[in-house]
Structure 1
Amino acid sequence: MSTPIVGGGEAGPPGVCINDVLTDDELRSVLARLESEKDREIFGLVCKRWLALQSAERRRLAARAGPHMLAMLAARFGRVVELDLSQSVSRSFYPGVTDADLAVVARKFKRLKVFNLSHCKGITDKGMLEIGDGLSTLQSLDVSFCRKLTDRGLEAVARGCHDMRTLHLASCRAVSDVLLLGLSRNCPNLEELVLEGCANITDQGITDLVGGCQKIKLLDVSKCSNVGDVGISNVARSCSSSLRTLKLLDCCKVGDQSVLSLASFCMGLETLVVSGCRDISDESLKSLAAACGNSLKTLGMNWCLNVSDLSLSSILAQCRYLEALDIGCCEEVTDAAFQGLASVEDVLSLKFLKISNCPNITVTGLGIILDKCRSLEYLDVRSCPHISKTACDEAMLRFPDCCKVNYVGRLSEPDMKL
C-alpha cells in the first residue's frame, strides 16, 4: 500500500509517495514524537511498512495468549522490554498463564527487563526455573499472589537474574528466609522488595538479605508476623543511605527499637507505615520527627495505641513536607496535639489525613488543622463522635475547595496505601 502526497492544483508537482521520501530513521523519529498509545497504534495502520516499524519499536506489551500466540508476538515485537501477563484480581480466565507460557517467554523475549505475572495462580516453580535460566537481563518481576511458587523456583530467578532491581512477592506464602539468603548472594542491586503476607520470613532472613543487598530503597514486610526489632534495626543500619520507604503494617513484634534505629541511621526516609504496631510509643516517634523532619512525606500509624499528643505535635511541627498522615484509632490523641500549629506561620503540606475513630478530637482541633492545611484533598473523620457534617457546619469550618470529607464511609479513599 502506498501513501501518496498529492500536489495542490493543476500546475503543481505530480503525486509523490511518502514512503519514497522518508527513510526508516525519519519515520522512527515521527513515531517517537507520538505520546499517546492510541496515536502510536494509528501510526501502524497507515501501511505495512509503518506497521512493521511500529511493531519493531514497541517496548511494552500486555497480552492474554497461549504459547503459540506468544511465539508469534515475540517474532513481531522483537524489542519488547516490558511484558504484562498479569491476571485480574476479581476475574480469571481458563487456563490462564501456565508454565508453558513462561517457557516461550524465556526463549523468545530475550530483551525482557520488566515482567508482570501478578495473580497468575497457575504458574509453578517449573516456570520460574525457565525464567531464571533464560532471562538474564530481567530487572523487575512481580509474582504477587502466585501462591504455588516456593523458594526453589524463585531462588533460580535470583541466580539467573543478577541485575534484579524490583521483586514483588506479596502473598507468596511459601517463601522463606532461604530465598532472602539467595537474593543476598546473587542480587546486589536489589532496590525494591515486597514481602507483604510472607509469614515465614523472620529476622534472620531480613538480616541475611541486607548483608548483601544494601541498595534497598523500598521494603514492604507488612503482615510478616515473625519480623521484629532485630531485623528492622539491621535494615536501618545496612541500608541507611538508600532506604526511602518502609512498610511494617501489622508487624506485631516491631516496637520502639525499630523506629529509634530508623531515626539514628535513615535520615532520608520518606514513607513509614507502622500501623498496627501497638508497642510503638511517643518516645521513638519524637526522635523520628527530629531526624526525618526534612524528608518524611507519608506516615501511617493507625492503631498505634500508645501514641499521644506528645509525638503527634512533634510530627506536625517538624515534618514540614508531610503529605499523608493516618492516626486512625489513636485514642489518646486530643485537640491539644494541634494547638501548637496556631502559632506557626507556615502552611502545612498535608493532602491526605485520616483521624477516624479518634474520640477526643473535636471540631476545635479540626478547625486548626483546616487553617494550616490549605492543600488538603482527603479527610477521613469517620466514627469521630464530636465531628459530623452538622457540627462542622455549625462551627462554620471552611474546607479547601478540592477537599473530600469522609463522614460516614461513603467516599472511596485515594490510592495512597497507608
Structure 2
Amino acid sequence: MDEPEVVNSNKGETAIVALTAGKDRRMVEAAIYSTANPPSEPQKHRSSNPSLSLSLSLSLSLNTMRGHDWINSVLPDELILEIFRNLDSKSSRDACSLVCRRWLTLERFSRDTIRIGASGSPDALVDLLSRRFPNVTNVYIDERLSVSLPVDFGRRRNPSHSALSWLRLHFVSEKNEAGGSESDSYCISDSGLTAVADGFMKLEKLSLIWCSNATSAGLTSVAEKCRFLKSLDLQGCYVGDQGLVAIGKCCRQLETLNLRFCEGLTDTGLVELAVGCGQTLKWLGVAACAKITDVSLEAVGSHCSSLETLSLDSEFVHNKGLLAVAKGCSLLKNLSLQCINVTDEALTAVGVFCLSLESLALYSCQRFTDKSLCAIGKGCKRLKSLMLSDCYFLSDKGLEAVAAGCLELAHLEVNGCHNIGTYGLESIGRSCMRLTELALLYCQKVGDEALSEVGKGCKYLEALHLVDCAIIGDDAIYSIATGCRNLKRLHIRRCYEVGSKGIIAVGNNCKYLTDLSIRFCDRVGDDALIAIGNGCPSLQHLNVSGCHKIGDDGITAIARGCPQLSYLDVSVLQNLRDMALAEVGEGCRVLKDIVVSHCRQITDVGVGHLVRRCRLLESCHMVYCPGITAAGVATVISSCTNMKKVLIEKAKVSERTQRRAGSVISYLCVDL
C-alpha cells in the first residue's frame, strides 16, 4: 500500500493519541501489536500494564509519521470507521482526518452530525456538505449563530481548499445582482432544504432554528425523501400547515417535534400530524402559536397514546385540550405548562390519569390552587422534579401534599411563589429524603427552620440555590453543611443574613464542593474563604462578586488550596490587590475564566503576574479598573494564546492590539 500523505505531523500525532486513547484503544493496540509481532513470536511477552501497552501503541503508531505505514497496511476500513465513530470530540476527529487521504475519506464517511450557522451561501453550502458527508443522520441549522465570512489565510497546498470561500462570495454577489437582499443570502431557503432532502436521505434528526426563509415547500421535500426522520425542530420557522401535513403522512417514525414560535401553523397542520405520527410521537413542544388551540390537543390526546413529554406555552389553550391529553396520554412523564387559561380542573386530571408523571413545571399559572398540587401528590407517586414559578395561589398546603405523596422527589425549585413559606419546605425536608437539588428564589417567607429540616432529612443533597431569600441566614447554611456532606454546588445571591459562619461550616464539612457562588453577600469575609481553601480542594468555580469584605487573604487561601479552579469572579472587590492575582497565577494553573471588573486596586502588574502563569486563560473581564491600562490589555492579549474574549473599555485598546486581536475584544459590559 502507498505510504500515507502526511499533512501535518503535529495533528497526526494528536490523531494517533485520539485513536489509542478512545473507547476502542484495546482494539487498536491489538492490531498494531500483531503487526509488530508475527504469529510465530510468543504472545506471552506482551505487557499487561495498560500504561506500558498504551506507550507501545503510541511508539509503534507514531512510526506511521516516519514512513512506516503499519496502521493502513493492517486495519481494514470497517475497523478504522468504527474507531472514528467512537472518538469523543470533534477536534480529535478533525485531527484524524489530516493524517492522510485515506483517513480523510473514512472520517467523512463516519461523520453523522453537521452543524451550520448563518453563512454567505447556505443553500450551496448544504449541497457541498451533502456530497462530502454522505452518511450524516443529524443536521442542525441555526441561523442565530454569527455569520462566518470567508477569510484568505494565504497560499494553500490545494486550490480546492478555497472552494468554500469562493462559493460563499460567488453566491452572495450572484444573489445581490439578481435583486436579493444581503440578509436573505444568509438564510437557508427551500432550495437548501431540497438539497438536505436529496443529500441526506438517511436523515433522522433535523433542526431548523429561526430559519425564516424556509416554507412548507422545502419541508415537504424533506418529508418525501427522508422517511426515517425521528426528530424535527422548527423553532422560529414560519412554515405552514402543508409542510406539517406532509411530515405526518411520510415520516411515520417521528418521535420528537418542536413547534415553538411557529406562528404560521394552525390546528389543521398539527391535527394531521397527530393522525399520521400518533403511534410514535413521544415529545411535543408548542409555544407562541396563536392559531393552535384545544382542537390540536384533543387530536394529540386521541391519537398520541405514546406521548411522554409535553411542553405547552399558550394563551389559547383551555381546560378542554389539556383534559384530552391527560385522559389519552397515560404514559406522560414530563409536563411543562405556561397557560393562563388552564385551571385546577385540568391539572387535577393530570394527577388522576398520568400516574407515570416524573417531571412537572408550572410557570405563571395564576389559576392553579392547592387543589391541583394535592391531586398531583395523591396520584403521581413517581414525581421526581417539581418546578413552581410565579404561581401566587399555591401555598404550604399544596407543597405538603406533594411531600407526603411524592417520596421520590429529587429536584425542587420554588421561584416567586409568595404564599409558600417555612412550613411547606419543612415538609419536604421531613419526607423527601432523596432530594438532590433545591432552589429557592425570591422566597421571602422561607426561614432557617426550613433548611434545618432539609439538612436533617436530605442527606443526598448535592446542589442548593438561594436568591433573595431575606430571612435565611447562617443557621440555615450551617445545618445544610453539617447534614448534607455530599454538597457539590452552593449558590447564594443577595441573601444578606448569610455571613462567614455558614460558609466556614461549608468549608469544614463539604469536601466535595466544586462550585461556590456567594454574590453580594456582604457579611462574608476572608475567614470564610480561608476555610473553603483549606477544606475544598476540588473547587472549580468560585464567584464572590460584590462581597466587599473579601480581600487578599481570602483569595490567596483559595489560590493555595484549590489548584483545580477554572472559573473565578472577584468583581466589585474594593480591597483586592495585585498580590492576590499573583497568588492565583501561581496556584491555579488551569484557570480559564476570570472576572476582575470594578476592582479599583488591580493594576497592570497584577494581571501581568496572572497571565504569565495561567496559560490556559480563555476569557478575562476587566472593565472599570482604573489601574489597568492599554499596556496591561496588550500583555493579556500577547500572553494568552487561547484567549477568546477580553472585556475592556475601548479607550484602553491600542490600535496595535486592535489589529492583533480585534476578534476577541468586547467593549460592552452586560454581566454587571
TM-score, normalized by length of structure 2? 0.49
Q: Check conservation: 1:309, 1:332, Cα contact below 8 A.
A: yes
Note if contact 2:530-2:558 (Cα within 8 Å) is conserved in structure 1. no
Equivalence for 2:450:
258
Structure 1 equivalent of residue 75 of structure 2: none
1:67 matched to 2:256? The reply is no
- The answer to whether residue 353 in structure 2 is matched with residue 161 in structure 1 is no
**1:197 paired residue number:** 390
Find out whether 1:337 has 2:414 as its counterpart.
no
Pick aligned residue for 1:304 from 491, 495, 509: 495
What is the count of residue pairs matched by the alignment? Answer: 369
- Paired with 1:122 and 1:362, the residues of 2 have a C-alpha distance of 57
- Note the C-alpha offset of 1:253: 1.5
- Counterpart in the other structure of 1:141: 310
Deviates more, 1:296-305 or 1:178-187: 178-187
Aligned-partner SS, 2:493 = coil
Which deviations, in whole Å up to 9, do the C-alpha atoms of 1:116-173 show, x marking residues without a partner? 2355566555544444444332222223x54555666545544443333323335343
CA contact (8 A) 1:260 1:288 kept: yes
The structure-2 alpha-carbon separation of the partners of 1:396 and 1:62, relative to structure 1 and needing over 3 Å to count, comes to closer
Q: CA 1:107–1:403 in 2, change beyond 3 Å: closer, same or farther?
A: same
Q: Distance in 2 between matches of 1:148 and 1:266?
A: 40
Using the TM superposition, name which of 370-379 and 120-129 deviates more: 120-129
Map 1:214-253 to 2 at 5 A: 214-241=407-434, 243-253=435-445
CA contact (8 A) 2:553 2:580 kept: no
Partner of 2:164 in structure 1? none
1:378 to 556, 563, 567: 567
1:327 Cα deviation from its structure 2 partner:
0.9
CA contact (8 A) 1:149 1:172 kept: no
Q: How big is the shift at 1:71?
A: 2.2
Deviations 1:354-413 (A, max 9, x none): 21111100021011112222222222222221136x56457675443433111228859x
8 Å Cα contact 2:224-2:246 kept in structure 1: no
- Can you list the C-alpha shifts for 1:291-338, whole angstroms capped at 9, x where unaligned? 2112x2222221111111111011122222222222111111110112
Distance (whole Å) between structure 2 residues aligned to residue 395 and residue 402 of structure 1: 12
Contact 1:184/1:209, CA 8 A, preserved across alignment: yes
Deviates more, 1:181-190 or 1:297-306: 181-190
Rounded to whole Å, the distance in 1 between the matches of 2:391 and 2:305 is 26
Q: Which deviates further from its counterpart, 319-328 or 199-208?
A: 199-208
Q: Distance in 2 between matches of 1:370 and 1:360?
A: 18
Question: Which of the numbers 523, 530, 548 marks the counterpart of 1:359?
Answer: 548
Deviates more, 1:61-70 or 1:222-231: 61-70
Instruction: Mark the CA change 1:385 to 1:54 in structure 2 (over 3 Å): closer, same or farther.
Output: farther
Residue in 2 aligned with 1:114?
283
Go from structure 1 to structure 2 and tell me whether the alpha carbon gap of 1:293 and 1:78 turns closer, same or farther (over 3 Å shift).
same
Asked if 2 retains the 8 angstrom alpha-carbon contact of 1:163 and 1:189, the reply is no
* Equivalent-residue separation in structure 2 for 1:401 and 1:49 (angstroms): 42
Paired residue type of 1:167 = L
Q: Which moved more, 1:393-402 or 1:267-276?
A: 393-402
For structure 1, the residue ranges without an aligned partner over 5 or more in a row are 1-32, 88-92, 413-418
Separation in 2, partners of 1:101, 1:233: 47
User: For 1:172 and 1:262, how far apart are their aligned partners in 2?
Assistant: 26
Give the aligned partner of residue 459 of structure 2.
267
Matched letter for residue 164 of structure 1: L
Deviation at 1:97, TM superposition (A): 4.7
Contact 2:308–2:334 (8 Å) recurs in 1:
yes
1:323 matched to 2:492:
no
Residue of structure 2 equivalent to 1:369: 558
Distance between the aligned counterparts of 2:266 and 2:440, measured in 1? 33
Deviation at 1:192, TM superposition (A): 2.7
C-alpha contact (below 8 Å) 1:218/1:245 kept by paired residues = yes
Question: Contact (CA 8 Å) 1:363, 1:395: kept in 2 or not?
Answer: no
Higher-Rg structure is: 2
Selected match of 1:288 from 459, 463, 480: 480
The answer to whether the 8 Å contact 1:164/1:190 transfers is no
Q: 1:349 and 2:538 equivalent?
A: yes
Q: Is the 8 A contact 1:236 1:266 kept in 2?
A: yes
Matching of residue 40 in structure 1 with residue 137 in structure 2: yes
User: 1:293, 1:179 → 2: CA distance?
Assistant: 34
Give CA deviations for 1:83-123 in whole Å, capped at 9, x if unaligned: 22223xxxxx6x34544444344433322222223555665
Contact 2:436 2:461 in 1 (8 A): yes
Q: Please say which of residues 228-237 and 308-317 is displaced more in the overlay.
A: 228-237
Moved more, 325-334 or 199-208: 199-208
1:78 Cα deviation from its structure 2 partner? 1.4
What is the Cα deviation at residue 211 of structure 1? 4.3
Distance 2:510 2:201 in 1: 57
**Is this contact kept in 1: 2:137–2:200, CA < 8 A?**
no
Gaps of 5+ in 2: 1-109, 116-135, 140-195, 204-221, 338-361, 599-619, 622-644, 646-672
Which digits, 9 at most, give the CA deviation of each residue in 1:155-205, with x for residues without a partner? 554444333332333534335134434434554433333332333332223
Gap change, CA 1:189 and 1:342, over 3 Å in 2: closer
Does residue 276 (structure 1) correspond to residue 468 (structure 2)? The answer is yes
What amino acid maps onto 2:113 in structure 1? S
CA distance in 2, matches of 1:266, 1:253: 21
Q: 1:79 aligns with which of 253, 259, 262?
A: 253
In 1: Cα distance, 2:471 partner to 2:387 partner: 23
| Amino acid in the other structure paired with 2:557 | I
Tell me the residue number matched to 1:207: 400
- Structure 1 residues 236 and 123 mapped into 2: Cα distance closer, same or farther (>3 Å)? farther
Q: CA RMSD in A?
A: 3.5
Cα contact 1:162–1:186 (8 A) shared by 2? no
Higher relative contact order (CA 8 A, sep 6+): 1
Question: Is this contact kept in 2: 1:262–1:288, CA < 8 A?
Answer: yes
Change (3 A) 1:378 1:104: farther
* 2: CA distance, partners of 1:324 / 1:60: 34
